[in-house]
Structure 1
Amino acid sequence: MTKTALVTGATAGIGAAFARRLAVEGYDLVLIARDEARLVAFGAELGDRHGVTVVPMAADLSTTEGCERVEARLADPAAPVDMLVNNAGISLNAPFLQSTVDGEERLLRLNVHAVMRLTLAALPGMVERRRGEIVNVSSVAGFGTPMPGSTYSASKAWVTNFSQSIAESVRSSPVRVMALCPGYTRTEFHNRAGINISMMPDWMWLSAEEVVRDGLRDLRRGKIVSVPDWKYKVAVFGLRHLPQGLVRTVSKDARGRIQR
């Protein structure tokens, strides 16, 4: 039986890597992103290369209308979704004191509200069918000491905690829910946020393909939280267990914001 996966933020970075990997595994795909032309082209490429059915669905998940459209697809009993990858998310270049209400609300709608809404749309059907998997893409930024002035790290702390809570709530069923928490990953994410990454050493970076490979492996092993790569596992251990004063000293906002 062919399985179907729905991937948000599907045209670049980790989302695109999920789409490619799942197409190789024979999943039919529903791909969600805002850029319809790019979405259609990417979907056609995957369909032609791997012989799977790909349905592009343009939607802005920071809006009520966009969420409602995708929720309806996830809840459709006639076309069940076997895997949901909540990958869409944004960061902001401006520190909080220089931010705007509109910008902060958009971040929370996309990083938090959309994850909650799409999970809630997909999960009841998965539990009823006694099969299904949900991957919520979070970040190591959500562990330990908050990054100064960063709503992004706070939003990812929510995603990780939420995923753990939902995973526990369905533990008695075969349905799996996991938070995928990568470190620095080479994608379009930082450029879109206006974040200068030129000072970050090469050894800190992961590829999107590595993140997806490790994430799917951990999902299938039944893990609730996946932290790809040993160096970030060590970092998360430190964030969780070292004295918080020490952590604050060594983990000051290293993202290299572009100064305005």
Structure 2
Amino acid sequence: MSKTVLITGASGGIGKELANRFVKDRYNMVLVARSEGKLEELAKEYREGYGVQVTVYAKDVSLPGVAEEIASDLKKKGITVDYLVNNAGFGLYGEFLETQLEQEMNMIDVNIKALTIMTKVFLPDMVKRCRGGVMNVASVGAFYPGPLMSVYFATKAYVLSFTEALENELSGTAVTVTALCPGPTATDFTSRAELGSSKLYKSGVMKVEEVADEAYRDFLRGKTLIVPGTVHRFITSLPRLLPRKVMARLIRERTARVEQ
């Protein structure tokens, strides 16, 4: 029997690339994102190209009751979610005193609240069935403070800590929990977070296909932590070697915009 994966933020970027890899292995898909047009286009491609079942929800997972609504509808349709990929998220660039509170609270709702609720809703059934896995998309920014992106880095620190704690709680079950911590990646995230002119992104990014390849392989192997790219794995080791104030200064220098 084919397994089913649910992916949030599935209409582009890492979410879409992960979906491409699951569907090539004939997983049935549940695609969630706000862009109905992009989701329907992707669903048509998957159904016609791979003959899999694709269910689409053009919804904002950060809104109250949406996760429960999706779970209820899937149950009515007899669809069991074997794997959950919490990919929906976005970033915000700027000094905290200058950024908009509404945008920051929206980011917290998407990056933290929605991820937590989706996990709460779908994880219990996986444990009952003694199979399944959850991938939470964090960031290399989860490992250190992030001046000029302070709230974003903090949300990803939550995701990493939450995931590692769940992994411990679920030891002894057959359910895996994974934190994917990509570094700078060539996706629409860069433009939404207004990071395109930062030194961090000018210095080079990973191709989204490379990130998805490593993430997909290691997730199905049951790894708890995935940091794609040798350079990024090295960077995540720096907080163990340097004082956090030094890390904050280094990150600010790399995140600062390059003058045009």
TM-score by length of 2: 0.91
Listed as ranges, the matches of 1:88-167 within 5 Å are 88-148=88-148, 150-167=150-167
The 1:196/1:134 distance shift into structure 2, 3 A limit, reads: same
Distance 1:147 1:98 in 2: 13
> What is the alpha-carbon distance in structure 1 between the residues aligned to residue 216 and residue 237 of structure 2?
21
Matched residue, 2:57? 57
User: How far apart, in 2, do the equivalents of 1:45 and 1:199 lie?
Assistant: 37
Deviations 1:103-125 (A, max 9, x none): 11111110000110000111110
User: What is the aligned partner in structure 1 of residue 46 from structure 2?
Assistant: 46
Instruction: Tell me the amino acid that sits aligned with residue 97 of structure 2.
Output: L
Cα gap change, 1:77 to 1:50, in 2 (>3 Å)? closer
What's 1:30 paired with? 30
Query: What is the CA-CA distance between 1:220 and the residue it aligns to?
Result: 3.1
Alignment length, in residue pairs? Answer: 259
The CA distance in 2 between the partners of 1:167 and 1:44, in whole Å, is 35
Tell me the alpha carbon deviations over residues 107-150 of structure 1, each in whole angstroms, 9 at most, x when there is no partner: 11100001100001111100000000100000001102343451
- Aligned partners of 1:156 and 1:178: how far apart in 2? 13
Q: Structure 1 stretch 72-81 or stretch 86-95: which is displaced more? A: 72-81
Distance 2:63 2:253 in 1: 29
| Cα distance, 1:94–1:199 mapped onto 2, change above 3 Å | closer
Task: Check the 8 A contact 2:15/2:87 in 1, yes or no.
Answer: yes
What is the TM-score normalised by the length of structure 1? 0.91
**Residues 1:142 and 1:74: Cα distance change in structure 2 (over 3 Å):** farther
What CA deviation, in whole Å up to 9, does each residue of 1:214-237 have, x standing for no partner?
112222333211111111010000
Hey, what does 1:82 align to over in structure 2?
Answer: 82
Inter-CA distance 162–13: structure 2 relative to 1 (3 Å threshold): same
User: What's the secondary structure of 1:242's corresponding residue?
Assistant: coil
SS of the residue aligned with 1:91? coil
> Cα distance 1:183–1:122, how it changes in 2: closer, same or farther (>3 A)?
same
Query: CA–CA distance in 2 between the matches of 1:147 and 1:172?
Result: 39
In the alignment, structure 1 segments of 5+ residues that lack a partner are none
CA change 1:104–1:228 in 2 (3 A) is same
Opposite residue 233 of structure 1, the aligned amino acid is R
- 1:196/1:255 contact within 8 Å kept: no
Q: Output the amino acid matched with 1:172.
A: G
> C-alpha distance in 2, partners of 1:70/1:167?
25
SS in structure 1 at match of 2:135? strand
Mapped partners of 1:142, 1:54: distance in 2: 32
What is the CA-CA distance between 1:77 and the residue it aligns to?
9.2
**Aligned counterpart, 1:189:** 189
- Runs of 4+ aligned residues of structure 1 deviating over 6 Å after TM superposition are 74-77
Which one is further off, 152-161 or 70-79? 70-79
> What CA RMSD, in Å, does the superposition of the two structures yield over aligned residues?
2.2
Distance in 2 of aligned mates of 1:31 and 1:258: 37
Structure 2 distance, partners of 1:186, 1:36, is 23
Deviation, structure 1 residue 74: 6.4
Q: Distance in 2 between matches of 1:203 and 1:95?
A: 21
| Counterpart AA for 2:185 | T
Q: Deviations over 1:172-213 (max 9, x none)?
A: 111000000000011011112233346446763112221122
- Counterpart residue identity of residue 142, structure 1: A
CA distance in structure 1 between the aligned counterparts of 2:48 and 2:257, rounded to whole angstroms: 40
Percentage of pairs with the same residue: 34
Deviations 1:38-69 (A, max 9, x none): 11011111221122111111001221143333
- SS of the residue corresponding to residue 249 of structure 2 reads helix
- Per-residue CA deviation, residues 57-113 of structure 1 (Å, 9 max, x unaligned), is 100122114333334356669321011000000112343212233211111110000
* Match of residue 179 from structure 1: 179
